[in-house]
Amino acid sequence: MNRKKTILVVVAHADDMEFMAGGTIARFVDEKGYDVYEYILTDNSRGSYRLTPEELIEVSAREAVEAGEVLGLKEVRLEGYGDGFLNEENPNVLRAKIMSMIREVKADMVMSWDPFAPYEEHPDHRMAAMATLEAASFSSIPLYLPECQAYTVTEAYWFAKSPYNAELFVDISSTIDKKIQALLKHDCQMALTADTLAQEAKAVGAKLPVLENLGEDGYKQLIDTGIRSLCADIGKQAGMELAEQFRYERLGMLDKVMGAEFVELDF
């Protein structure tokens, strides 16, 4: 049964979505005509070697909106929790905020960090992941958060830095340029990525001219090349030129109880 879907992407940081799922989001918007909303939970206030926290909060928020415009998102919403300390927030409050947005936009599908992927070192990612899973699971039950009308989420796309049981590969050959364009809108975070790589090289005594004295054009080219290489490596696993990888989940019990698949995969 074909239907227009609404997607809510819940992430911890302003560039998470573009890094992990930007090409797939572009296909959802451009090919399927789906409405996509992004909910960014933290303020990115610690992600820089170059800017102060106050500067980062302002710059990162503006860049997140610009990246969303590239991908054609309906809205980019910023919650503003402290970067790196999401694990100190009340998980039930966090779950309720995500559930409230699911119901507000009537999200049929959620996308987020995988709550069960191994080796995830970032507490913000872990908290965002589990809160999103719980919010999506409880959103159809009216006695949870009764002040807003219940809504049933039917699908989830989970992404991870170390994917586990992630058997859905989405071909993004047609949208890789848009993925990178959106990612590069997060200029402060791309500078952070390049600076982090340079620090790691210094720590191990590696001489890598490509990482030395990187100006704006230099680190943008580094990101472009690196993302294409990463997506090519993912694609090789599925016989695709360029791909993103997810653990796909049909939520709820309908398929299991009725012995059929009622929700069709988009890709």
Q: Look at residue 2 in the predicted model and tell me its pLDDT.
A: 73
Q: So where are the chain's domains?
A: 6-258
Q: Residue 61: pLDDT above 80?
A: yes
Cα distance between residue 248 and residue 267, in whole Å: 11
Cβ-contact 84, 124 below 8 angstroms? yes
Cα distance between residue 83 and residue 94, in whole Å: 14
Average pLDDT along the chain: 94
Q: Residue 216: pLDDT above 70?
A: no
What are 236's two structure tokens? 């090789």
Cβ-contact 234, 245 below 8 angstroms? yes
Picking from 47, 48, 17, 11, the residue whose alpha carbon sits closest to that of residue 127 is 11
Q: Residue 4: pLDDT above 80?
A: yes
Q: Look at residue 76 in the predicted model and tell me its pLDDT.
A: 98
Q: Residue 217: pLDDT above 70?
A: no
| pLDDT tens-digit readout, 121-159 | 999 999 999 999 999 999 999 999 999 999 999 999 999
pTM of the shown model: 0.95
Cα distance between residue 223 and residue 225, in whole Å: 6
Cα distance between residue 133 and residue 99, in whole Å: 10
Cα distance between residue 209 and residue 207, in whole Å: 6
- Rounded to an integer, the average pLDDT of 97-125 is 98
CATH for 6-258 (3.40.50.1820, 3.10.180.10, 3.10.580.10, 3.40.50.10320): 3.40.50.10320
Band (64; pLDDT cuts 50, 70, 90): very high
- Rounded to an integer, the average pLDDT of 103-123 is 97
Q: Any idea which residue has 């009725």 for tokens?
A: 258
